[in-house]
């Protein structure tokens, strides 16, 4: 996992590391379940899926399921393992979409390593992604709770719809802030929301707590995506194995771009259209883009928007009594937003 | 649908048309459900999905669900609509795999029309395929029966695994008959089996009937695929909107090839390796392939194999009492095998 060098020394740990430490045993069990359940006699499947799953993701989404279950008092009993298998299910859905995203984006890199499609080809990535989708459905059917099935099937469907919506709005500089939010609510925040909602659902807690956890996950997911968008233009990005300006070079329309375009002059809009719609870019264009983003406060305002959603996530936690895990989940929100600095 | 010009005149109708006539009202309701449930505000989704769903498939798999339900006495009651929605679910799974197959095979044509990926691109086909997968899961979760969910999630997972298996064994002339059967049992026959098993499952019939319907579907599916393989080398193919030798040009290893390769001389095996593994083909090679297939009785023996599986399908029907729908389902088996002539 690599989220903490020494997971027991929490004095210098980030909020994410502290949350990881609180669900450490569950996460070990989840990682074990992920490896076991992606097994197939067709060896390409565990090879390819193992490559992407092992490539150093933060396991943020499955961690949300584990943390929300513990927050709601589920997971301590000897037979209480449903959150572990469901967090594996969440990771499979996420991994399937990463595999298909990389095919759609024609990415050669994923978290600084060669992407699965770069190694095994697009065909393998499409079909192994499909396998992980179907395996995730087998896992949730194995859980057998119709409420859980409703959350996850709806979540997967909204996510898939969001991916198509992103495709049809790609490279369109006329995208509004509202339209962009609609995309990221579906393609990113919905899976965060579903992952968090699972905890109170399996703990059979009142509907109010399920709604609260869903709001926490959804707003955290929006904040997370907005900060990811900002990081693409930040030197901090390089420490995460991604090059600065990857989104820009692919012509991706993210909130910083939406803001700078809306606030830009006619000449500036021509620049954005040439570079992002026509993908006609030269060596100086990334520097020029950074200049315009700074001029219009597009990056700092995107962080402010993220902070707004972060506050909604934090407020949603109010219905839960104080506990170490609640405190860590609240702190994770600030941590996600403060990643930008 | 176009399976019958005048569906009420059954005197000249094929067995498939007779079966279609027996479930005509259910199929109309299923087609309606398919159109309603593929709706999305993201207009690319119904556009692309509508294109492939409307492109003249025989609806064989959803018809199996409708027929097996009726065979088991389900569907006549005023509230008995589960078979209709589940047949739509089967069609969505099938359509999702067709979309991804066309991306993987780089096909420009599907049933004689431009394939979805040729019109909207690979990216759209991948993502709309994902959407149809997830929508199918929403549909089955809406049904809410855990036995149904088990059949369909297991079926989807085996299908997806079979697609990966087919990819890793593609263009390998050393494929054995057993290995090839393993591929088609997973990628084709499993969905036939699941579609047929749904009928007795929702009719709450004894396990014995569920097992029998599953065997019927699975063996019919194997026979169907083997005859498809034969048809690729038959002039009859052209009446179905596909060119003769499509599989050959793509280097697909099908049972006729497996048999001809196994029975071939060293020189002949060199020919198959050059044309199918290296994909180094010239104008005379398809004629040469046909010559070798004929010399080794590879096409007629594949039809014999299909007939064997057809008999297993027919025998599986023995547990059901005689009825018009049983008779039509039995006749459909022969019809599927006799398509080769």
What are the sequence ranges of the domains in chain B? 15-338
- Going by C-alpha positions, the residue among A35, A45, A34, A43 that lies closest to residue A131 is A45
Cross-chain Cβ contact A160/B133 below 8 Å: yes
Say whether residue A168 is in contact with chain B using an 8 A CB cutoff. Answer: yes
At which residue do the structure tokens 């499409």 appear?
A: A126
Q: What is the DSSP letter of B113?
A: E
CA of A13, closest CA in chain B: separation in Å? 38
- Going by C-alpha positions, the residue among B225, B188, B325, B336 that lies closest to residue B317 is B325
> The domain at A15-338 falls in which architecture?
Orthogonal Bundle (1.10)
Cross-chain Cβ contact B138/A157 below 8 Å: yes
pLDDT level of residue B1 (50, 70, 90 thresholds): very low
B-chain residue closest to A157, CA distance: B134
**Residue B94, SS3 per DSSP:** helix
The crossing angle, in degrees rounded to 10, of helices A255-262 and A177-184 is 170
Positive/negative CA dihedral, A130, A134, A137, A139 = negative
Top-confidence residue, B271 or B3? B271
Residue B108: its pLDDT value, please?
A: 76
Best mutation target, A149, A166, A172, A179, to test chain B (most B CBs within 10 A): A149
Say whether residue B164 is in contact with chain A using an 8 A CB cutoff. Answer: yes
Residue B325: its pLDDT value, please?
A: 96
At which residue do the structure tokens 């990334």 appear?
A: A286
Say whether residue A244 is in contact with chain B using an 8 A CB cutoff. Answer: no
Counting residues of chain B whose pLDDT is more than 70, the rounded percentage is: 93
* Of A326-335, B95-104, B176-185, B301-310, minimum mean pLDDT range: B95-104
A-chain residues within 8 Å CB-CB of B104?
123, 126-127
Compute chain B's Rg from CA coordinates. Answer: 20
Residue B13: its pLDDT value, please?
A: 85
Mean pLDDT across B193-215: 98
Residue A78: its pLDDT value, please?
A: 86
Q: What is the pTM of this model?
A: 0.92
Q: Nearest by CB to B161, which of A131, A153, A159?
A: A131
pLDDT level of residue B241 (50, 70, 90 thresholds): low
Contact, A293 vs A330, CB < 8 A?
no
Contact map slice: B 108-137 vs A, CB within 8 A: 122-124, 126-131, 133-135, 137
Rounded Cα distance between B339 and B227, Å, is 7
Rounded Cα distance between B321 and B304, Å, is 28
Q: What is the dihedral of CA A264, A268, A273, A279, to 10 degrees?
A: -130
Render the burial of A246-275: b for 16+ CB within 10 Å, e for the rest.
ebbbebbbbbbbbbbbeebeeebbebbbeb
Contact, A102 vs A116, CB < 8 A?
yes
| ipTM at complex level | 0.90
B-chain residue closest to A162, CA distance: B42
CB neighbour list of residue B8: distance below 8 Å, 6 or more residues apart:
B21
Rounded Cα distance between A224 and A195, Å, is 14
Q: Nearest by CB to A168, which of B42, B96, B146?
A: B42
Top-confidence residue, A237 or A324? A324
Query: In the Cβ-directed half-sphere of A273, how many Cα atoms lie within 13 Å?
Result: 9
């Amino acid at each position: 996992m690599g989220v903490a060098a020494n997971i027991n020394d929490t004095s210098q740990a980030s909020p994410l590391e502290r949350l990881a430490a609180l669900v450490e045993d569950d996460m070990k069990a989840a990682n074990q379940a992920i490896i076991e359940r992606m097994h197939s006699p067709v060896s390409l499947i565990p090879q390819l899926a193992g490559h992407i799953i092992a490539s150093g993701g933060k396991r943020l989404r499955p961690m949300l399921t584990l943390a929300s279950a513990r927050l709601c008092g589920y997971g301590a009993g000897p037979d209480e393992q449903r959150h572990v298998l469901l967090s594996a299910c969440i990771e499979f859905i996420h991994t399937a979409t990463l595999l298909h995203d990389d095919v759609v984006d024609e990415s050669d890199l994923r978290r600084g390593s060669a992407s699965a499609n770069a190694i095994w080809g697009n065909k393998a990535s499409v079909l192994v992604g499909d396998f992980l989708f179907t395996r995730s459905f087998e896992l949730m059917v194995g859980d057998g709770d119709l409420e859980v099935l409703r959350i996850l099937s709806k979540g997967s469907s909204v996510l898939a719809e969001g991916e198509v919506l992103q495709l049809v709005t790609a490279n369109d500089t006329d995208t509004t802030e509202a339209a962009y939010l609609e995309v990221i609510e579906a393609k990113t925040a919905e899976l965060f929301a579903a992952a968090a909602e699972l905890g109170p659902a399996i703990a059979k807690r009142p509907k109010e707590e399920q709604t609260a956890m869903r709001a926490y996950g959804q707003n955290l997911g929006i904040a997370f995506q907005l900060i990811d968008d900002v990081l693409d233009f930040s030197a901090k990005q390089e420490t995460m194995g991604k090059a600065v300006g990857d989104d820009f070079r692919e012509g991706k329309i993210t909130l910083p771009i939406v803001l700078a375009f809306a606030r830009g002059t006619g000449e500036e809009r021509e620049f954005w259209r040439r570079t992002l719609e026509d993908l006609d870019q030269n060596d100086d264009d990334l520097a020029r883009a950074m200049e315009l983003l700074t001029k219009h406060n597009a990056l700092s305002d995107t962080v402010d928007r993220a902070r707004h959603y972060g506050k909604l996530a934090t407020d949603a936690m109010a219905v839960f009594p104080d506990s170490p895990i609640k405190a860590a989940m609240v702190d994770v929100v600030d941590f996600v937003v403060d990643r930008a600095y």
